[in-house]
Structure 1
Amino acid sequence: MYGAGDVRLVDAPDPVIEQPTDALIRVVRTCVCGSDLWTFADMEPSEQGQAMGHEAVGIVEDAGKDVATVKTGDLVIMPMFTADGSCSFCCEGLTSACRHVGFFGRMGFPGAQAEAIRVPHADANLVRVDAAPDDAIVPSLLTLSDVMATGHHAAIGAEVKRGGKVAVVGDGAVGLCGVIAARRLGAEQIIVLGHHDDRTNLAREFGATDVVSVDGEEAVEQVRLLTGGTGAHSVLECVGTEAATATAVEIARPGGAVSRVGVPHYAGIPAFPTWVKNIRVAGGPTPVRPYIDTLLRDVLDGTIQPGRVFDRTIELAKVADAYQAMARREALKVLLNP
């Protein structure tokens, strides 16, 4: 990415082992994330550009001498953050706050929308999977590197409980994965707020019980009506705009919880409504690596199928078309085939 709207496919040097804890992976599948669209919309021009992409499933091509958990030929999932696995935050399960954290495809860090990538601290980050690179399950495995893990993070932060009433703000890939997560955790009612029929129909297939396709006060009133006048116990805010956050707070019931996982593009959280309703506010960057262990079995046995959020596949050579398709809302989430 060389600036807003300026995505190019370029030749880059092959990655190499730099530390004995590194691994090199050949990317089998990657994708464009909704968060990449913020960069696509407003990145300042850059002469050196930023290698993009933070989601990948790949084959280990080489590993440093200190790597013990993966070997050449293994199919692996790469989390969007790289963490050392040993600092105090990693030990607490908050790998996104690792003291040596790196975010693939951001701030000069290598991107996964590529043929190959170097992964630091391979033992702490890469997850080996017993599957073939051409398995139909690979798209669902790919979601564990970000969007399914993020949907789960939203559900955990919003304290989704068995029998609870849940509202999901946003019908993008993360919102849809939030629906999967809420259903997986036993929510009785799941209301999705979205405007795109194809996406909300998929949300229903994932477990949503109700759809609200309006905005603002009208949306708030509909959610209150659907919840018997009280609002939702748990609200997953999966957009990141000021309007979405305000709606999330308004539709939470007193004593409820709101979890914000959409990349924030606003000044603050409504103070008085959260105070007067005793609402707990959580959320933030997803500690992906621990969640992969939690979710992987359900993906492998078909209990959840988050790979269905991919509604288009494009060759890496046409990656600019993938960005355009998602920016124009012509595609929900584009799978890239290197």
Structure 2
Amino acid sequence: MLATIMHAAGDVRIETVPDATLVEPTDVLVRVVSACICGSDLWPYNLRPADAPPQSMGHEAIGIVEAIGADVQRLKPGDFVIMPFAHADGSCAFCREGLPTSCVHVGFFGNRGLNGAQAEALRIPFADGTLYPLDPTARNLVGDAGLLASLLTLSDVMGTGHHAARVARVTPGVTAAVIGDGAVGLCGVIAAKRLGAERIILLGRHDDRIALAREFGATDIVRERGEAGIARVRELTGGFGAHAILECVGTGDAMATAIGIARPGGAIGRVGVPHYEAIPLAGPAFYSNITVGGGPAPVRTYIDELLPDILEGRIQPGRVFDQVTDLAGVPQGYRDMNERRAIKVMVRP
């Protein structure tokens, strides 16, 4: 089968690899209907050492179950499924508490020897606890490109933006600030609007993304960065800052900005994969009673809540996909996202 393999920074190739097969009795095989390139994939695309082993890429997919292991109970061949970016057994204490990304058997697709989802097919461990099967009639939706795109966001970016909003305690009437205008940040705007934020400030600099953010519900745009961006947000909020901060980037500068624009008593939901050593919590963060939380989003837990709004058209997170390619076009898709010519690239094997 064909799959996306990253060999080093900037070196992404489509290669023929051994077919995915069942290994454990709890596995299923999924034929990928749609996958995508994630903003987090750009970190290794820019920073992966040349001597690192090749890595199978992709952790977001929807697809069709093709084969099941002997111990699989909830799934059958032909099921149309959403594949969250992490696998989990669905039965441990953390899964029962709604945190499958802390499952005692957790793993992340594209790592630890697992096939990535930017491929024709892949093996799903602990499939009963990992995959989210859609209604049997949903297979008929494969031809609805807009709906298909929105369903794909439930495997990561919509659930991750929602997680940021939940951790940041977005409730009706608050002012929310979203740091980052990538796909997760844009989905964070959707989430903040959906949860009732009265004012949503997007910190971003790209015109196409800003336009989409405004359609999703952003009320104010801050293009400045660093201290200038902090000052601008405080100016917009009467000097107090925002109640809820959605940090969707993962850099030290983004976290410093998040703390700088948080209102006393406010909360920061961080979902950008952290590329910094420590959170600067001393000083203002402590004396302003700012709460900082977040981490890998338990996206499977959120599907029950978000799916009806997608199926009924109340939210359309699939609009973050502004480019579609086949597997052969994936290397160019990485270049386009890295150079900000695309927000998020969908892959149709």
Residues 267-306 of structure 1 aligned to structure 2 (within 5 Å) = 267-271=277-281, 272-306=283-317
Percent of aligned pairs sharing the same letter? 60
Alpha-carbon shift at residue 88 of structure 1 (Å): 1.3
Unaligned runs of 5+ in 1: none
Match of 1:111 in 2: 116
| 2:321 is the counterpart of 1:310 | yes
SS at match of 1:195: coil
| 2:218 is the counterpart of 1:208 | yes
Match of 1:135 in 2: 144
- Asked if the contact 1:50/1:107 (under 8 Å) is kept, the reply is no
Q: For the residues of structure 1 that align with 2:305 and 2:26, how far apart are their CA atoms?
A: 24
- Asked if the contact 1:235/1:252 (under 8 Å) is kept, the reply is yes
Match of 1:37 in 2: 42
Unaligned runs of 5+ in 2: 1-5
> Could you tell me which amino acid in structure 1 is paired with residue 291 of structure 2?
R
Q: For the residues of structure 2 that align with 1:32 and 1:47, how far apart are their CA atoms?
A: 20
Q: Alpha-carbon deviations, 1:178-217, whole Å to 9, x = none?
A: 0000011011000000000110110010011111111122
Alpha-carbon shift at residue 327 of structure 1 (Å): 0.7
Q: For the residues of structure 1 that align with 2:103 and 2:50, how far apart are their CA atoms?
A: 30
Q: For the residues of structure 1 that align with 2:118 and 2:202, how far apart are their CA atoms?
A: 30
Q: For the residues of structure 1 that align with 2:76 and 2:340, how far apart are their CA atoms?
A: 39
SS at match of 2:275: coil
Q: For the residues of structure 1 that align with 2:278 and 2:26, how far apart are their CA atoms?
A: 40
Higher deviation after alignment, 253-262 or 225-234: 225-234
TM-score by length of 2: 0.95
CA distance change for structure 1 residues 156 and 73 in 2, over 3 Å: closer, same or farther?
A: same
Higher deviation after alignment, 100-109 or 50-59: 100-109
SS at match of 1:254: strand
Alpha-carbon shift at residue 270 of structure 1 (Å): 1.5
Match of 2:8 in 1: 3
| 2:198 is the counterpart of 1:188 | yes
Q: Alpha-carbon deviations, 1:45-77, whole Å to 9, x = none?
A: 257511100000001111123222221112110
Q: Alpha-carbon deviations, 1:258-291, whole Å to 9, x = none?
A: 1111011112111222102110000111111101
CA distance change for structure 1 residues 116 and 177 in 2, over 3 Å: closer, same or farther?
A: same
Q: For the residues of structure 2 that align with 1:188 and 1:47, how far apart are their CA atoms?
A: 46
Q: For the residues of structure 1 that align with 2:208 and 2:34, how far apart are their CA atoms?
A: 24
Q: CA RMSD in A?
A: 1.1
Q: For the residues of structure 2 that align with 1:298 and 1:67, how far apart are their CA atoms?
A: 29
User: 1:241 is matched with which residue: 247, 251, 255?
Assistant: 251
SS at match of 1:167: strand
Q: For the residues of structure 2 that align with 1:171 and 1:318, how far apart are their CA atoms?
A: 24
Match of 2:165 in 1: 155
Match of 2:106 in 1: 101
Q: For the residues of structure 2 that align with 1:83 and 1:289, how far apart are their CA atoms?
A: 10
Q: For the residues of structure 1 that align with 2:44 and 2:217, how far apart are their CA atoms?
A: 31
SS at match of 2:29: strand
Residues 52-67 of structure 1 aligned to structure 2 (within 5 Å) = 52-67=57-72
Higher deviation after alignment, 173-182 or 209-218: 209-218
Runs of 4+ in 1 over 4 A off after TM superposition: none
Alpha-carbon shift at residue 9 of structure 1 (Å): 0.6
| 2:230 is the counterpart of 1:230 | no
Q: Alpha-carbon deviations, 1:216-247, whole Å to 9, x = none?
A: 22211221122222110000000011111111
Alpha-carbon shift at residue 94 of structure 1 (Å): 1.1
Q: For the residues of structure 2 that align with 1:276 and 1:254, how far apart are their CA atoms?
A: 8
Alpha-carbon shift at residue 321 of structure 1 (Å): 0.5
TM-score by length of 1: 0.98
> Could you tell me which amino acid in structure 2 is paired with residue 176 of structure 1?
L
- Asked if the contact 2:114/2:123 (under 8 Å) is kept, the reply is no
Higher deviation after alignment, 315-324 or 130-139: 130-139
